[in-house]
């Protein structure tokens, strides 16, 4: 159901989401957590992501329910003219906060901005594309095309390695939420709608340029090396403790590096190294250049101490550090169990678990939006309320197979 509170930042907005997978649903989830009414529209039986892994024991997708918390669900045969017209009416229904579409279902003319604009001139549409020319692309193919797999993995490994986090999808989802909010502000000031296209490829290329990966090639003609777990451009790497625990250490500033030297009791040796090498370890470049020598020096101290002793010493000396943990360990840790970011959620088909709210705190509180709906759960109520179409007409379309409802199974 719609948010009841009028105090949430985006309360009063109504967003229709025709989407699947990560970027577009994450945009909708972000807006829902901030108070927007988000209506996800799926084809009958669900989109391609409706049963995506991981799943609960009964087959319910943990992935799908996680990305669609706080939304309403409308199911529709979007190949039928009647279904298309109903979704158009849903998107373009009157009201100051309505007339907003986010989708990654490209190539559907009936969802095009020019078509919707003729029905509601101030409509805002955001279409997430794969590649900038409109051809398909997903996080993993975009990532392959940009270059990051050749920087990921061990320094001496010659083949590309994909990272597991769909970073471009995530960045795209958040950017999409920001772009839609900007368009809403623009409409509030001018009364004009906006047609936004957001290629996933552009997200990756933009950030690769902003962070210097592309710029250094253009300016210097060189490409940064693959460095494994070593942090590029400063000093940071992983160490193994006496009990087998592994730590990630980052000496991002001279102060952090002095703390690491103090914790490991290597001040005299480090000073001698600086003198012998003609190095200045207050400089990022020298800490990075001589990282192998420094790592060999520090590794001996880590190998002689347990994880608890290492944690205590590094914390006392102000060193940026963390012990590597599995998801099982993280889930059981106070970072999850005692963190107000998470709230207990009883999700239909999944069970009880701790679900994250907004990462940001608004007036010292995280915002939570409730669980995900069943597919088609809100078809009749939402379409009747938003479009003004009589319930009897909606019921007839459900019986005709144009619309779907949770009651149909």
pLDDT score of 3: 42
Tens-place pLDDT, residues 166-191: 999 999 999 999 999 999 999 999 99
Closest by Cα among 313, 403, 36, 365 to 184: 36
Q: What span, in angstroms and rounded, lies between the C-alpha atoms of 5 and 55?
A: 32
Are 377 and 305 in a shared domain?
A: no
Please give the C-alpha separations between residue 91 and each of 124, 176, 211, in angstroms, as whole numbers: 9, 17, 37
Tens-place pLDDT, residues 99-157: 999 999 878 999 999 999 999 999 999 999 999 999 999 999 999 999 999 999 999 99
Identify the CATH number of the domain in which residue 369 sits: 3.40.50.10540
Residue 6, pLDDT above cutoff 70: no
Q: 373: helix, coil or strand?
A: coil
Judged by phi (left if over 0) then psi (alpha if -120 to 50, else beta), residue 310 lies in alpha
> Would you say residue 154 lies in a domain?
yes
Residue 52, pLDDT above cutoff 70: yes
Write down the pTM of the prediction: 0.94
> Would you say residue 231 lies in a domain?
no
Q: What span, in angstroms and rounded, lies between the C-alpha atoms of 310 and 300?
A: 12
List of residues 6+ apart from 46 with CB closer than 8 A: 64, 75, 375
Task: Single out the residue in 323, 346, 376 at which a domain terminates.
Answer: 323
Which of 42, 169, 230, 378 does the annotation list as catalytic? Answer: 169
Are 201 and 255 in a shared domain?
A: no
Mean pLDDT score, 289-313: 97
The residue written with tokens 């069943």 in the block is 374
Q: What is the DSSP string of 93-127?
A: -SSTT--EEEE--TT-GGGSHHHHHHH-TT-EEEE
pLDDT score of 249: 98
> Would you say residue 373 lies in a domain?
yes
Are 98 and 44 in a shared domain?
A: yes
Task: Single out the residue in 323, 353, 381 at which a domain terminates.
Answer: 323
Task: Single out the residue in 294, 323, 352 at which a domain terminates.
Answer: 323
Per the prediction, the chain carries an average pLDDT of 95
pLDDT score of 259: 98
pLDDT band at 7 (very low <50, low <70, confident <90, very high): confident
Q: What span, in angstroms and rounded, lies between the C-alpha atoms of 106 and 104?
A: 6
Are 312 and 367 in a shared domain?
A: no
> Would you say residue 232 lies in a domain?
no
> Would you say residue 71 lies in a domain?
yes
pLDDT band at 2 (very low <50, low <70, confident <90, very high): very low
pLDDT more than 90, % of the chain: 96
> Would you say residue 341 lies in a domain?
no
pLDDT band at 34 (very low <50, low <70, confident <90, very high): very high
Mean pLDDT score, 48-63: 95
Q: Are 247 and 302 in contact (CB under 8 A)?
A: yes
Are 136 and 204 in a shared domain?
A: yes
Are 47 and 188 in a shared domain?
A: yes
Q: What span, in angstroms and rounded, lies between the C-alpha atoms of 118 and 324?
A: 55
How many domains are contained in the chain?
Answer: 2
3-state helix, strand, coil in the chain (%, to 5): 40, 15, 40
Tens-place pLDDT, residues 316-352: 999 999 999 999 999 999 999 999 999 999 999 999 9
Are 85 and 186 in a shared domain?
A: yes
* 338 noted as active-site residue: no
Are 256 and 161 in a shared domain?
A: no
Are 125 and 30 in a shared domain?
A: yes
> Would you say residue 338 lies in a domain?
no
List strand residue ranges (DSSP E) for 273-385, in order.
320-323, 342-347, 351-356
> Would you say residue 329 lies in a domain?
no
| Residue 47 structural domain | 14-209+363-400
Q: What span, in angstroms and rounded, lies between the C-alpha atoms of 268 and 84?
A: 74
pLDDT score of 406: 77
Phi, psi at residue 398, to the nearest 5°?
-65, -45
Tens-place pLDDT, residues 358-402: 999 999 999 999 999 999 999 999 999 999 999 999 999 999 999
Are 137 and 269 in a shared domain?
A: no
Are 184 and 46 in a shared domain?
A: yes
Are 186 and 97 in a shared domain?
A: yes
- 209-239 as b/e, with b when 16 or more CB fall inside 10 Å? eeeebbeeeeeeeeeeebbeebbeebbbbeb
Closest by Cα among 3, 16, 7 to 386: 16
């Amino acid at each position: 159901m719609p948010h009841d509170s009028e105090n949430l930042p985006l309360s009063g907005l109504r967003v229709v989401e025709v989407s699947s997978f990560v970027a577009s649903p994450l945009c909708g989830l972000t807006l829902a957590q901030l108070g927007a009414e988000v209506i996800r529209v799926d084809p009958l039986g669900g989109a391609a992501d409706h049963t995506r892994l991981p799943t609960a024991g009964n087959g319910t997708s943990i992935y799908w329910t996680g990305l669609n918390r706080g939304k309403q669900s409308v199911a529709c045969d979007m190949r039928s003219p009647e279904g298309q017209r109903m979704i158009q009416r849903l998107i373009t229904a009157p009201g100051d906060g309505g007339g907003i579409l986010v989708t990654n279902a490209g190539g559907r003319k009936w969802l095009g901005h020019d078509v919707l604009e003729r029905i509601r001139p101030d409509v805002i549409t955001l279409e997430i594309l794969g590649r900038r020319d409109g051809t398909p692309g997903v996080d993993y193919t975009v990532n392959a095309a940009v270059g990051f797999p050749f920087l990921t993995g061990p320094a001496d490994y010659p083949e590309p390695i994909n990272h597991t986090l769909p970073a471009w999808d995530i960045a795209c989802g958040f950017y999409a939420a920001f772009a839609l909010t900007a368009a809403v502000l623009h409409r509030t000031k001018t009364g004009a709608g906006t047609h936004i296209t957001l290629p996933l490829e552009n997200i990756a290329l933009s950030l690769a340029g902003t962070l210097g990966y592309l710029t250094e090639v253009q300016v210097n003609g060189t490409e940064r090396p693959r460095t494994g777990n070593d942090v590029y451009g400063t000093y940071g790497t992983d160490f193994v403790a006496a009990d087998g625990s592994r730590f990630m250490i980052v000496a991002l500033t001279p102060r952090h590096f002095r703390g690491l030297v103090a914790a490991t009791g290597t001040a005299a040796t480090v000073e001698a190294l600086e003198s012998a090498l003609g190095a200045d370890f207050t400089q990022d470049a020298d800490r990075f250049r001589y990282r192998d020598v420094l790592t060999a020096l520090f590794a001996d101290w880590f190998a002689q101490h347990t994880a608890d002793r290492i944690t205590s010493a590094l914390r006392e000396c102000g060193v940026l550090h963390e012990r590597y943990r599995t998801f099982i360990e993280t889930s059981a840790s106070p970072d999850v169990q005692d963190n107000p970011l998470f709230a207990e959620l009883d999700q239909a088909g999944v069970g009880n678990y701790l679900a994250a709210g907004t990462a940001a705190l608004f007036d010292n509180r995280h915002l939570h939006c409730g669980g995900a709906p069943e597919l088609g759960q809100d078809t009749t109520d939402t379409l009747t309320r938003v479009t003004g179409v009589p319930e009897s007409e909606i019921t007839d379309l459900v019986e005709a197979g144009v619309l779907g409802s949770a009651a149909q199974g």
